[in-house]
């Protein structure tokens, strides 16, 4: 039992590590394995949990993915080596309903979805978090590169110390209630090299395991082939049309294109390069135009998860930095609420390739704090 005057342990609880149960979400990669090993060495009551999210047969041997086959084996081995219990939970149906089906439907609707965010939001930080509570855990730890800080109004989400590894874009939808229960022990590390050094220190077999690159259920980044398997007959042919109305060619399905795409359009022989500027699903048209048509300043956002201290719509506008793609740095913007969870985001400098289905994440310009974000639902 915790004493009021007891010092806080490294996870923020006023009791010894041995009396603090922490469920570690283990994907089988080096990051979550190091978290589990680190906490076990510190004496915490560690319980490792790995989610089997998909199989698809080939996933058993696929490298660079997570949450299937060889990765489950790797997580189990770490638990055995470090001497803590490990469980594998079959979440395939939950993952399909909460993530894969929406991914397919969004893609068919001309959007460019980010399923990793939905997985964190709807599976790992929802169902798995509830499982951790059912196991009487005090908290749940993950290997994400993000930081949790306790402010005057409660837990806050902060960027990782290493900008190159920061995963705030994929975690913006984490709620204050989830933040209260979550811990991110790697967020303060200066580089991934430090994580691998820790893995070597603990003697983990995954110390040199490559990072996952693709979306776990999209082998080799081939989105269209996955959509065609999930929604047979979805790839209907249509026209490639210039923004001025000229028909320039034909295509084998809108699902093969994304906003901002230049290569592989199949309309060579033109003097100036053209880019995909719009996907018209209803008319099965891929609309192309010059690069300057990609530049957008007003970005409508909905389903906003707000992590500020004051209510989101308590102000006419918020001066924040925003990130509209995971690979881009935050840029200066004015966020104007249009409701409790909707807004028009005005970019001070226009951005190219803003696409429906992507996230728009809010950052404090003066600190590492993240103020949440929402989903871009119209890019043009």
DSSP track, 46-105: EEEEEEE---TTGGGT-SS--SSTHHHHHHHHHHHHHT--EEEEE-HHHHIIIIIHHHHH
Residues annotated as part of the active site: 119, 216
User: Is 85 a residue whose pLDDT tops 90?
Assistant: yes
H/E segment holding residue 318: strand 318-323
Q: How confident is the model at residue 236 (pLDDT cuts 50, 70, 90)?
A: confident
CATH number, residue 343: 2.40.30.10
227 occurs within a structural domain: no
5 occurs within a structural domain: no
Q: How confident is the model at residue 33 (pLDDT cuts 50, 70, 90)?
A: very high
7 occurs within a structural domain: no
- In the three-class reduction of DSSP (H, G, I as helix; E, B as strand; rest coil), residue 154 is classed as strand
Let me know whether 149 and 244 are in one domain: no
Q: How confident is the model at residue 269 (pLDDT cuts 50, 70, 90)?
A: low
Q: What does the pLDDT read at residue 167? A: 96
User: Is 5 a residue whose pLDDT tops 80?
Assistant: no
Q: How far is CA 345 from CA 157, 159, 298, 364, 378, in A?
A: 21, 21, 6, 15, 12
Let me know whether 98 and 209 are in one domain: yes
Q: Could you tell me which residue, 378 or 261, shows the higher pLDDT?
A: 261
Let me know whether 129 and 35 are in one domain: yes
In DSSP terms, 89 is beta-bridged to 51
- Residue at which a domain ends, from 220, 255, 281: 220
For the ranges 30-39, 104-113, 173-182, the lowest mean pLDDT is seen at: 104-113
Q: How many CA atoms lie within 13 A of 350 on its CB side?
A: 11
Q: What does the pLDDT read at residue 199? A: 95
CA 133, 136, 138 angle in degrees (round to 5)?
80
| Per-residue model confidence as pLDDT tens digits over 54-76 | 764 444 344 444 555 788 999 99
Let me know whether 212 and 281 are in one domain: no
Q: Could you tell me which residue, 353 or 244, shows the higher pLDDT?
A: 244
Let me know whether 362 and 330 are in one domain: yes
Let me know whether 111 and 254 are in one domain: no
Please check whether residue 116 is in contact with residue 124, taking contact to mean a CB–CB distance below 8 angstroms: no
Strands in 247-251's sheet, in edge-to-edge order, are: 247-251, 238-242, 285-289, 275-280
Percentage of the chain beyond pLDDT 70 is 93
Number of domains in the chain: 3
Let me know whether 160 and 130 are in one domain: yes
Contacts of 102 (CB under 8 A, 6+ apart): 113, 115, 118
Let me know whether 301 and 249 are in one domain: no
For the ranges 105-109, 153-157, 369-373, the lowest mean pLDDT is seen at: 105-109
CATH number, residue 50: 3.40.50.620
Let me know whether 147 and 270 are in one domain: no
Q: Could you tell me which residue, 314 or 71, shows the higher pLDDT?
A: 314
181 occurs within a structural domain: yes
Q: What does the pLDDT read at residue 64? A: 47
For the ranges 58-62, 122-126, 376-380, the lowest mean pLDDT is seen at: 58-62
User: pTM of the full predicted structure?
Assistant: 0.90
- Residue at which a domain ends, from 271, 293, 315: 293
Q: How confident is the model at residue 238 (pLDDT cuts 50, 70, 90)?
A: very high
């Amino acid at each position: 039992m915790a004493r009021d005057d007891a010092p806080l342990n490294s996870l923020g609880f006023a009791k010894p590590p041995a009396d603090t149960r922490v469920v570690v979400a283990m994907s089988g990669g080096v990051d979550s394995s190091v978290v589990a090993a680190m906490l076990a060495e510190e004496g915490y009551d560690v319980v490792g949990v790995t989610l089997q999210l998909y199989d698809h047969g080939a996933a058993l041997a696929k490298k660079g993915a997570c949450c299937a086959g060889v990765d489950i084996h790797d997580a189990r081995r770490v638990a055995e080596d470090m001497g803590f219990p490990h469980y594998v939970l079959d979440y395939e149906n939950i993952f399909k309903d909460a993530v894969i089906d929406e991914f397919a439907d969004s893609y068919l609707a001309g959007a460019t979805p980010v399923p990793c965010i939905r997985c964190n939001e709807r599976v790992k930080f929802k169902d798995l978090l509830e499982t951790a509570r059912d196991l009487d855990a005090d908290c749940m730890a993950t290997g994400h590169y993000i930081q949790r800080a306790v402010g005057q109004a409660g837990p806050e989400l902060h960027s990782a110390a290493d900008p190159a590894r920061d995963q705030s874009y994929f975690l913006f939808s984490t709620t204050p209630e989830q933040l209260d229960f979550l811990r991110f022990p790697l967020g303060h590390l200066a580089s991934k090299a430090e994580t691998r050094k820790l893995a070597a220190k603990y003697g983990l077999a995954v110390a040199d395991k490559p990072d996952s690159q693709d979306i776990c259920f999209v082998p080799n980044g081939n989105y269209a082939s996955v959509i065609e398997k999930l929604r047979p007959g979805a790839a209907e042919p249509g026209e490639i049309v210039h923004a001025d109305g000229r028909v320039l060619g034909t295509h084998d399905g809108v699902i093969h294109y994304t906003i901002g795409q230049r290569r592989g359009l199949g309309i060579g022989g033109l003097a100036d390069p053209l880019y995909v500027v719009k996907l018209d699903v209803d008319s099965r048209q891929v609309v192309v135009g010059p690069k300057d048509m990609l530049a957008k300043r007003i970005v409508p956002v909905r389903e906003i998860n707000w992590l500020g201290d004051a209510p989101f719509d308590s102000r006419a506008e918020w001066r924040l930095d925003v990130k509209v793609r995971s690979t881009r740095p935050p840029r200066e913007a004015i966020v104007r609420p249009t409701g409790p969870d909707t807004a028009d985001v005005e970019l001070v400098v226009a951005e190219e390739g803003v696409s429906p289905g992507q996230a728009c994440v809010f950052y404090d310009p003066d600190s590492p704090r993240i103020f949440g974000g929402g989903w871009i639902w119209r890019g043009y």
